[in-house]
Amino acid sequence: MDNRGILIVVSGFSGAGKGTLMKELLRRHPDTYALSISATTRSPREGEVDGREYFFISTEEFEKMIAKDGLIEYARYVENYYGTPRGYVEEKLGQGKDVILEIEIQGALKVKKAFPDTLLLFVTPPSASELKSRLVGRGTETMDVIRSRMDRACEEAQGMENYDYLIVNDDLDTCVEEMHSIIRAEHRKISRNAEFMEKIKEDLISLKGED
């Protein structure tokens, strides 16, 4: 099998449950996946740790990273910058890990353009009202911020068609297993196994006529 890992982008409305899903997927399959840690200029939420959820940096530091091409992609989202540091992603893909970027849609499309064999997954709750309940229930944002995130969800919904698979996060356990199965199947795509196929073709020719 070809050894490089798959680059996977996970997007979805804020409050859809992406963070919760990623945490559970990594807990169940720690050797398979690596989760990229983004840099952001937004302030940490209660309980978030620098270098774990995000690298929390200043706008000036962020702009320096852009200037030295240290980010695979970046975007502005509700007044802040968010971006994917290049080094970690390249290192982990080289080690054969499937690397997950949990990023919003503008960034997802940039990654797909730069790396066309990226797998794009879109996470949604089962309904719009459930999205609002989860955002309110999480209790980490003011009603004003929740409103702007719901507005942003309306815009992001227009871009769902650009993704490869829709992941409906209703029951968490089912959803985690479904996501893992989709990624397993992606590894078996003909287009991802060129090296293996070449090798077996050559070996079949060498064996022809031998007893």
How many angstroms separate the CA atoms of 171 and 201, rounded?
44
Q: Which is nearer to ligand ADP, 48 or 203 (CB)?
A: 48
x/- track of binding to ligand ADP for residues 126-165 (CB under 6 A):
--------x--xx---------------------------
Q: Kindly list the distances between the CA atom of residue 187 and the CA atoms of 4, 7, 174, in Å, as whole numbers in the listed order.
A: 10, 11, 20
x/- track of binding to ligand 5GP for residues 37-76 (CB under 6 A):
-x---x------------------------------xxx-
Q: Rule CB under 6 A: is residue 18 a binding residue for ligand ADP?
A: yes
Q: Rule CB under 6 A: is residue 118 a binding residue for ligand 5GP?
A: no
SS3 label, residue 11: strand
Q: Which is nearer to ligand 5GP, 82 or 122 (CB)?
A: 82
Contact (CB, 8 A) for 34 and 100: yes
CB-based burial, 84-101: b 16+ in 10 Å, e otherwise: bbbeebeebbeeebbbbb
With CB cut-offs between 5 and 8 Å by kind, which of ligand ADP, ligand 5GP, none does residue 169 bind? ligand ADP
DSSP 50: B
Number of CB atoms found within 10 A of residue 110's CB: 18
Where along the sequence are the contacts to ligand 5GP (CB under 6 A)?
A: 14, 38, 42, 73-75, 77, 82-84, 102-104, 106-107
Where along the sequence are the contacts to ligand ADP (CB under 6 A)?
A: 12, 14-20, 134, 137-138, 169, 172
